[in-house]
Amino acid sequence: MTGFTEPANTQTALLLLGRGSDAGSERGVDCPGELPAPSDPDLVARAKAAKEALGGNVFVLGHHYQRDEVIQFADVTGDSFKLAQQAAARPDAEYIVFCGVHFMAESADILTGDHQRVVLPDMAAGCSMADMATASQVEQCWEDLQRVGIADVTVPVTYMNSTAAIKGFVGREGGLVCTSSNAERALRWAYEHGEKVLFLPDQHLGRNTMVRDMGYSLDDCVLYNPHKPNGGLTDDELRNAKIILWKGHCSVHGRFTLECVEEMRRVDPEVNILVHPECKHEVVEAADYVGSTEYIIKQLEAAEPGSSWAIGTELNLVRRLANRFPDKKISFLDKTVCYCSTMNRIDLPHLVWALEELVAGRVPNVITVDERTASYAREALDRMLALP
Annotated binding site for iminosuccinate: 63, 80, 159-161, 180, 276-278, 293
Instruction: Tell me how far CA of residue 149 lies from CA of 45, 142, 222, in angstroms.
Output: 61, 10, 17
Q: Which of 174, 136, 144 is nearest to 239 (CA)?
A: 144
d(CA 255, CA 251): 7
Degrees (nearest 5) of the Cα angle 142, 146, 152? Answer: 95
d(CA 182, CA 277): 11
Extract the annotated binding site: 63, 80, 127, 159-161, 180, 250, 276-278, 293, 340
**For the chain, what percentages of helix, strand and coil (3-state, to nearest 5) are there?**
45, 15, 40
Enumerate the known binding-site residues for [4Fe-4S] cluster: 127, 250, 340
SS3 354: helix
Cα(331)–Cα(213) distance, rounded to whole angstroms? 26
- Strand-pair category, 117-119 with 366-367: antiparallel
Contact between 161 and 248 under an 8 Å Cβ cutoff? The reply is no
Element (H, E) at 294: helix 293-302
